[in-house]
A and B are shown apart, each in its own frame.
Chain A
Amino acid sequence: MRWSRALLVFRKDLSEVVRNWEVMAPMIILPVILTVFIPAVVALVPDSMSGSGNGNLMDTIFPNLPEAVREMLSSLPEGLQMTYIMLVYFFAPFFLIIPLMVSGVIASDSFAGEKERKTIEALLAAPFTDSELLMGKILVAFAPAIGATLISFTLYTVMVDALTVGRFGFLLLPNLTWLVMILCLAPAASLMGIGATVIISSRVRGFREAQQLSALMVVPVMALLFGQAAGYIIMGPVTLAVLTVLVLVVDAALFGVGVSVFNRERILSQSH
């Protein structure tokens, strides 16, 4: 595979993506909500965190927290305890939605969108190998997904620390759990989103259909969120490392299938 050719496809697709508001809008709106709006509400209204409903959440998550965290939280008022749990644990799975969603949206546009816009034939006729085309298109979905995740995480960390350091007296983020999640699990999740979208795109004719189906990839993340809220799982570094390995296994399986369905003839026959 010639990397210069894969990068040529990557740059071309990226130029298209940044001019497509249908793709860019969800990539901007969701991270802004997650990184600015939610932490601001949670951090600025600590009293709202001590209601009876949140008490249930506290009861389920608190016993599963690491010993040291429980000890540290015991010395804090209930409102701050809840703020800590929400900002450091409860919202963490949302940051897996960003790479999944961004990679899914871009990959849908890049694969199914080209078929829908009937631009695919000239591209497939150009002297690229299948692996150069596939790699270019994977990169264009992967790089912005990781970029958006890192920017969102940085903004979230700055927001959370700026809004809470006065009350807690120390910086809540980053911690090891978040670093493992952002640097290991998020890229693996992003690859999962791309692998699934490549397969979905080979079966559908349009961008929206591919996007809607790839949105189903969020379901496992929601399971993680609710699993944590219900006290079945707590997102610590070890749990996240194990999850990363599991997701990478799924990635390998998805990419195996994805490469086999990335076939010029099949793609072309679907675009008419």
Chain B
Amino acid sequence: MESIAAEGLTKRFNGLTAVDDLSFKVEQGEIFGLLGPNGAGKTTTIRMLACLIQPSEGEAYVGGFSVRDDALRVRETIGILTENPSLYERLSAHENLEFFAKAYGVDDPTTRSERIRELMEFFDLWDRRGDRAGTFSKGMKQKLALTRALVHQPRILYLDEPTSGLDPKSAKDIRDLMERLSQREGQTILLSTHRLEDAERLCDRVMIINRGASVSVASPRELRRRATGAHVVRVGLQDLTEPLSRAAEAAEGVKAVEVKGGAFSVTLADEDYTPGLVRSLVDAGGSVMYVVPEEVSLEEAYLKVIGGE
């Protein structure tokens, strides 16, 4: 079931096209990443999907509700972590959460206070609940803003740079939480991030946006493979001998063999030829220590896609 479906989403500001004809679908429980350089249109896309701004053209459905015609229902359905924490700094952390919990319709006081306590304890904020949000560190504000986005248990979450400004432990906690929300609770997450390691670890699929347009939509693994251009495996052997190199070259589906860093780097026509390659090497007397796919990192793939634009 689709949680988000965008069709031809376009936004123009004074003649400048910020988002250009974006079409994509996000399935329930999926973590979908938006990647792109600054000014690519990621935040504008999220704002259109959050009904903060109207699309100039196109349509999107969030949780089955139109962003054009059912803005209030869309807002009730989502939780959003905005680019800035957007906290009321003169109010206490608890007051901030109380306000937003009520705003999102968590009307039962017991449910509300239990939910707030559970989230604040998870983020180690409970002991500071009575302190003004303005006295919090950047990382604590980010955690409080994320707590606010989760307080009403939304079916769909928009997270704009969720691990920005966090220490490694807090960033890991949030990544773990996102995985849990997606896998165990079936929440759909739209993640806009500059941290490619976050996208690589968390996202089922990512969309790379550049100058407002979608450049590529695929899983991180598929993106890396596309950037590599071919299926390359690294084969570690006890001894790298000439006969073994010839045996590898003669194996079915092998396009090239190189010796690189004490192992064979073998370019295959398809990953399905990997078992045959290993069999050929073993038949030729080789002792195979390991076989690993040789792929570019997501960062390299991303830079290649953006650079190729």
Assess the A127–B53 pair: CB atoms within 8 A.
Answer: no
Contact A126 B103 (CB under 8 A): yes
Within 8 A of A (CB), among B231-265: none
Q: Does residue B290 face the partner (Cβ distance < 8 Å to A)? A: no
Residue in A12, A16, A121, A269 whose CB lies within 8 Å of B83: A121
Among the stretches A32-40, A54-62, A112-120, A219-227, the one at the interface with B is A112-120
Across-interface contacts of A124 in B (CB, < 8 A): 52
Cα–Cα, bound, A46→B75 (Å):
64
Verify if A257 is at the interface (C-beta below 8 Å from B). no
Q: Is A19 engaged at the interface, CB distance under 8 Å to the other chain?
A: yes
Q: A122-B80, A127-B76, A127-B103 are in contact. Are A264 and B87 (CB under 8 A)?
A: no
Partner of B102, one of A8, A20, A122: A8
Contact with B along A231-272 (1 / 0, CB 8 A): 000000000000000000000000000000000110011000
A88 to chain B, nearest CB (A): 41
Nearest Cβ on chain A to B299's Cβ, whole angstroms: 28
Asked if B99 and A8 sit within 8 Å, CB to CB, the answer is yes
Whether B105 is near chain A, meaning CB under 8 Å from some CB there, is: yes
Residue pair B82, A121 in contact (C-beta under 8 Å): yes
Which residues of B lie under 8 Å from residue A264 when comparing CB positions?
51-53
Q: What does the 1/0 interface line of B257-301 toward A look like (CB < 8 Å)?
A: 000000000000000000000000000000000000000000000
A122 adjacent to B100 (CB under 8 Å) = yes
> Nearest chain A CB to B144's CB is how many angstroms away?
11
CB B64 to nearest CB in A, in angstroms, measures: 16
Residue with the greatest number of chain B CB neighbours at <10 A, chosen from A122, A124, A264 = A122
The one of B72, B86, B88 in contact with A12, judged by C-beta atoms closer than 8 angstroms, is B88
Chain B residues with CB under 8 A of A175: none
Measured in the bound complex, the distance between the Cα atoms of B80 and A8 in whole Å is 20
Q: How many residues of B contact A (CB 8 A)?
A: 30
B27 at the interface (CB under 8 A from A): no
Report A121 CB to chain B, min CB distance, Å: 4
List chain B residues, Cβ under 8 A from A120: 86
A123 interface residue per 8 A CB criterion = yes
Bound Cα distance from A128 to B78, whole angstroms: 13
- Nearest-CB distance from A203 to chain B (Å)? 16
Expressed in whole angstroms, the Cα–Cα distance for A270 and B137 within the complex equals 26
Interface size of A by CB at 8 A reads 24
B50 within 8 A of A: yes
For residue A208, CB closer than 8 A to chain B, the reply is no
Q: Would A265 and B52 count as touching, CB distance under 8 A? A: yes
Contact B86 A123 (CB under 8 A): yes
Is there a chain B Cβ closer than 8 Å to A129's Cβ?
Answer: yes
Contact of B217 with A by CB under 8 A:
no
Do B87 and A265 touch across chains, with their CB atoms under 8 A apart?
A: no
Give every chain B residue within 8 A of A268 (Cβ-Cβ): 47, 52-53
Q: Which of B79-117 contact A (CB under 8 A)?
A: 80, 82-84, 86-91, 95, 99-100, 102-105
B129 at the interface (CB under 8 A from A): no
Residue in B closest to A122 when the chains form the complex, CB atoms: B86
How distant is the Cα of A127 from the Cα of B62 in the complex, in angstroms?
14
The residue on A at minimum CB distance from B90 is: A19
Q: Is B54 an interface residue (CB 8 A)?
A: yes
A126 pairs with B75, CB closer than 8 A: yes
Q: Is B143 an interface residue (CB 8 A)?
A: no
**Complex interface residues of chain B between 99 and 143 (CB less than 8 A to chain A):** 99-100, 102-105
B84 to A118, Cβ gap below 8 A? yes
Q: Mark A1-35, 1 if CB is under 8 A from B, else 0.
A: 00001001000100110011000000000000000
Residues of A within 8 A of B53 (CB): 264-265, 268
- The docked-state distance in angstroms from the alpha carbon of A129 to that of B74 is 12
* A265 CB contacts on chain B under 8 angstroms: 52-54
A125 interface hit (Cβ, 8 Å): yes
Q: Which residues of A contact B51 (CB under 8 A)?
A: 125, 264
Note all chain A residues with C-beta closer than 8 A to B105. 127
Interface string of B27-66 (1 = CB under 8 A from A): 0000000000000000000010011111000000000000
Q: Is the CB of A5 within 8 A of B90?
A: no
The answer for the CA separation of A8 and B103 in the assembled complex, in Å, is 7
Interface centre among B76, B86, B89, B105 (most CB of A within 10 A): B86
> Is B148 located at the chain interface by the 8 A CB criterion?
yes
Are the C-beta atoms of A121 and B52 separated by less than 8 Å?
Answer: yes
Q: Which residues of chain A are near B103, meaning CB under 8 Å?
A: 5, 8, 126-128
- Please give, as numbers and ranges, the residues of chain A lying within 8 Å of B80 by CB-CB distance: 122, 125
Task: Say which residue of A16, A118, A127, A129 sits within 8 Å of B86 (CB atoms).
Answer: A118
- Binary A-proximity of B204-224 (CB < 8 A = 1, otherwise 0): 000000000000000000000
Pick from A15, A126, A269: contact of B100, CB below 8 A. Answer: A126
Contact of A125 among B52, B89, B99, B102 (CB under 8 A): B52
Chain B residues contacting A15 (CB-CB under 8 Å) are 90-91, 95
Cα A54 to Cα B105 with chains together (Å): 62
Q: Are A125 and B91 in contact (CB under 8 A)?
A: no
Report how far A122 CA is from B81 CA in the complex, Å: 8
Contacts of A128 in B (CB 8 A): 75, 103
CB <8 Å contact, A126 and B104: yes
The answer to whether A121 touches B102 (Cβ under 8 A) is no
Q: Which residues of the partner chain B approach A20 to less than 8 Å between Cβ atoms? A: 90
User: How far does the alpha carbon of A75 sit from the alpha carbon of B198 in the complex, in Å?
Assistant: 88
7 contacts across the A-B interface (CB closer than 8 A): A16-B90, A119-B88, A121-B86, A125-B51, A126-B75, A127-B105, A269-B13
